[in-house]
Amino acid sequence: MIYDVIVIGCGPAGIAAGIELQKCSTKPSFLIVEARDRIGGRTYTDRQTFDAAKPIDLGARWIHHFRPENPLSIHHKPSDQDVITRDFVGDRPHIFLDMDGSYLSESLRNEAKLIAENFWTKVQQYPTDQIDVSIREVIREKYNEIQDEQMRRLVDMNIAYVEHYEAANLEQLSAKSFLKTDNNVDTCDLTLPIGLGTFIEQIADQHQLPIQLNTIITNIDIPANENELICLTTQDNRQYFIKYILIAIPLGCLKARSIQFNPSLPDWKQNAIDQMGFGLLNKVYIQFPITFWDEQYESIFIASNRFRFFLCHPEDHILILFLTGRLASEIEQQTDEQIISDIVQFLRAIYPQMPEPIKWLVTRWGQDPFARGSYSNFPVGTTYEITKELARDCYNERVYWAGEHANYGGTIGCVDSAFETGQREAGRILNKLI
C-alpha cells in the first residue's frame, strides 16, 4: 500500500494533522494509523463502566488555555453546561478538611497558601547563571523551618497543586523551567458536558478522516536514496510505503522505543526524547450507593500526605481521586481491590457513616503500552528549548514529529498543545508535496 503521507497516532495531534491534510486542494493520499481499537489517545470518555449523568474522562478532562486563539475553539459549540475555571481550586463549591474530618479554617489555609506562594517566588528568583536544581532543592531550607505538623500538611497540599499540574514530584522538576509548560498563557480551563474524549471523537467523525485502527507500527525503514519510499512495518507484518511520515505518538512511547528506526534516530533526537520529562497522573473513580458528603461541594481537599484531591459528582454518587508522581506509579503496582480498600479506610476517618462502594475504575496510564505515562514536563537540566529538538524533522525532511511535547511555539502537556503541532507539521509536509 502506497501513500503520500502516513500519520502514526490518532490522538489530538494526529486528528489535527488529518484535518489539515484534508484541506489541501491537491488531495494528497494519506492514512492515519492507530495502535488502539479506538481514537483519541490520552483523551478517552468512558461511557460503559458507570451509568452516570456526568462524563467519565479517564485521561485529559479540560480544554486548557481556552481562548479564541486555542485551535480547539473553532470546533466548540458553546453550551450553558460549559464550566470554566481559572485555577486548580476553581470557583465551584469546595471544602477543606483535615485527615480527621475537621474543617480547616480560612486563616490556616491562607497562612499555608502564603508560605507556598513565598516558595514559588523563591523558585522564580533562582539565578539563571547557576546550575539547575530541582524545585524541591530550592525550597528545602524554608520548608524545613515549618515545625507545626498540621501546617506542614497544609503547605504540602498547596505544593501538590503544582505537582498535579506537572504530573511529577518537585524533586523531578526543574527550578529554572518552573511553570514554563504554560509559556506565559493564562490559565482558563473549559470542562465540556459531553466529555473531552467524546469531543475529540466528534471532531474526527465530522471530518470523516481516513483512520485505520489496531495497526501497531513496529519498524520504520528509511532508505538512503531520497527517491525511494519509506517502509513502515506493522506488528502483524503488513507493510506501507510512503513519501513522508508524521509521528504523533506519546513521548512515553518514544522513550520506550516502541518503534525501531533504521537507520537509528540521530543522537540529537534520541537525546531530546530521553531528556524530556514525561509525568504520570492517574484517577480513581469510586461510585457509592448514595452521596454521603455534602452535595453542595464539587471538590473535597484533604490535608493528607497521601490522598488529597477529590472531585465530586454528587448526582452520580461518584468521587474522583487524583494521584500523581510517585503515588500514581505506586498504585499501578496494586490491585484495584487493594487501592479501593486503602481509599475507603482513609475516607472512613472523615466520613464514619460512609457506605461500601459499589463500583470503581482505576486508570493506569503508566502501564498503558500506547501511552506509557500522561503528559510532558521539564525535569532538572532541561529548558523550553528542548521542545524545538523534539519537533525538528529528520532524515532529510522526510520524518516529522507532533504531539504535546513538541509544541515549541506554545504550551506543552495539553490537548490544544498537541492539536497545534498536528496542524503545524501537516502544513510543513504539504509544502513539500505541492
Q: Mean pLDDT per 10-residue run, the chain (434 residues)?
A: 97 98 91 98 96 94 89 90 71 86 95 97 94 98 96 96 96 95 84 94 97 98 96 98 98 98 98 98 98 93 95 96 97 98 97 96 98 98 97 97 96 96 97 89
Report, at the CATH architecture level, how domain 50-91+186-193+279-362 is classified: Alpha-Beta Complex (3.90)
| CATH 3.50.50.60 intervals, the chain | 2-42+194-278+372-433
Cα 277 to Cα 170: distance, rounded to the nearest angstrom: 12
Cα 378 to Cα 166: distance, rounded to the nearest angstrom: 9
What is this structure's pTM?
0.95
Taking residue 91's Cβ as centre, other Cβ atoms within 10 Å add up to 11
Burial per residue of 27-36, b for 16 or more beta-carbon CB atoms within 10 angstroms, e otherwise:
ebebbbbbbb
Q: Which three cell numbers stand for residue 85?
A: 475555571
* Cβ neighbours of residue 406 closer than 8 Å, sequence gap 6 or more: 387, 390, 391, 421
Q: Which three cell numbers stand for residue 248?
A: 504523533
What's the pLDDT at 80?
83
What's the pLDDT at 170?
98
Task: Report the CATH fold assignment for 2-42+194-278+372-433.
Answer: FAD/NAD(P)-binding domain (3.50.50)
Cα 173 to Cα 56: distance, rounded to the nearest angstrom: 29
User: Of the candidates 5, 10, 39, 133, which has an alpha carbon nearest to the alpha carbon of residue 403?
Assistant: 10
Contact 12, 201 (CB under 8 A): no
| CATH 3.90.660.10 intervals, the chain | 50-91+186-193+279-362
Helix H or strand E segment including 112: helix 106-124
- Relative to beta strand 230-234, strand 217-221 is antiparallel
What's the pLDDT at 89?
56
Residue owning grid cell 481514537: 39
